[in-house]
Amino acid sequence: MASEPQPSRLGARVAISTAGERAEAFVPPPLPPEPPVRMGKLYRLLEEASRAIGRLDGVTSILPDTPLFLYMYIRKEALLSSQIEGTQSSLSDLLLFETEEAPGVPLDDVQEVSNYVAAMNHGLARIREGFPISLRLMREIHEILLATGRGSAKQPGEFRRSQNWIGGTRPGNAVFVPPPPEQVPDLMSDLERFIHADTPEIPALIKAGLVHVQFETIHPFLDGNGRLGRLLITFLLCAQGILKEPILYLSLYFKTHRRHYYDLLQQVRERGDWEAWLAFFLEGVAETSVQAADAAREILNLFDADRDRIEGLGRPAASALRVHQLLQQKPIIAIPDAAQRLGISAPTIAKSVHHLERLGILREITGRQRRRLFAYDGYLQILNRGTEPLSR
């Protein structure tokens, strides 16, 4: 049942004129919401989400190579977040692109995902250096996000100077019209102040949920707002020490429930219903944390089981184990590249690859006689869950 509108939480509707057409844009009130978020029904969900994040942090602490797991997990998140915006790439497409193999999808799609990986890594590196989450950092990340590909003509790294809208073909028939461009700098400054404000009465997870919606409502850039808004969630949790490692990404949850996600954003704007959004957000944090912890354990078990099988090869095991180690970093390999990386001759690598194929660990994926590529099937199957491109 829909809650009653909260008048003091509602923003202002302002008349705009774009391309000779009059429409109404929405200007949100500053955070935190007034009256404050009613935490009564959210405490249980907050506790479950916090517990699940704690367990996820525990799992990452026992991973033998946390950066390696993050390397692949970040690529999965980049893919999912880009898919929500309409790209049709798969995880294999991205890995092939990074191997300098031409993928079977439009190059722009894979380039967008690759940009996202670079933008995410830049943001995480800056936060680890102690750089605050600020408007400057958001612009830096945005510039990398839109560096090449379809968004490169949409003012990368700059707040918009023209009106945008969401859904529809023009502001007059849009689902939502964000604030006029002249109001964006002040609104973003207010958001930055809230991010840095000392708010002990607002739990960190709740604060991240509030910031995400406010950012999406302001929609400060001409393109890339959804992707950057999703990144902000993880950056905020890392900066506040809720996550030791940047391993919680909500794009799969938002992709799975995208209709409900967009409806809840609108409910905040139209009714001031922060509580419904925050309940959904906390459920997503808990569900996503459990999924990530389960995937980490599953990958660990796979690596251990495959290592045991390789050790049973006898004399060929030594070089095959080296190849297996490389596959954990690069689940798709070519023999010449593997030989160069490992400092082992190509014929020896070819024999190891043959042994790993025979064990069912590797699968040849090109069907070619030359320049063949081999995929670590079990690993990719775990990573691929939920990454099927959305139908247009």
CA distance 153 to 80: 23
Say what percent of the chain tops pLDDT 70: 93
Higher pLDDT, 366 or 163: 163
Nearest by Cα to 341 from 354, 328, 358: 328
Higher pLDDT, 68 or 325: 325
| pLDDT tens digits, 257-278 | 999 999 999 999 999 999 999 9
What per-residue confidence (pLDDT) applies to 58?
85
Domains of the chain: 7-295 (1.10.3290.10), 313-384 (1.10.10.10)
| pLDDT tens digits, 283-302 | 999 999 998 888 888 988 99
Q: What is the dihedral of CA 347, 348, 352, 357, to 10 degrees?
A: 0
pLDDT surpassing 90 at residue 87? no
pLDDT band at residue 17 using 50, 70 and 90 as cut-offs: confident
| pLDDT tens digits, 94-151 | 777 777 665 555 566 778 888 888 898 899 899 999 999 999 999 999 999 998 776 6
pLDDT surpassing 60 at residue 359? yes
CA distance 70 to 168: 37
Tokens 């009059």 correspond to 22
303: which 2 tokens?
A: 């690596």
**What is the C-alpha end-to-end distance of the chain, expressed in Å?**
31
Q: What is the mean pLDDT of the chain?
A: 88
Q: Measured over all CA atoms, what is the biggest interatomic distance in the chain, rounded to whole angstroms?
A: 77
Reported in sequence order, the residue ranges of the chain that DSSP labels E, i.e. its strands, are 12-18, 21-27, 332-333, 362-364, 374-376
pLDDT surpassing 80 at residue 214? yes
Higher pLDDT, 173 or 191: 191
Nearest by Cα to 81 from 45, 107, 46, 119: 119
**pTM for the structure as a whole:** 0.88
Higher pLDDT, 72 or 31: 31
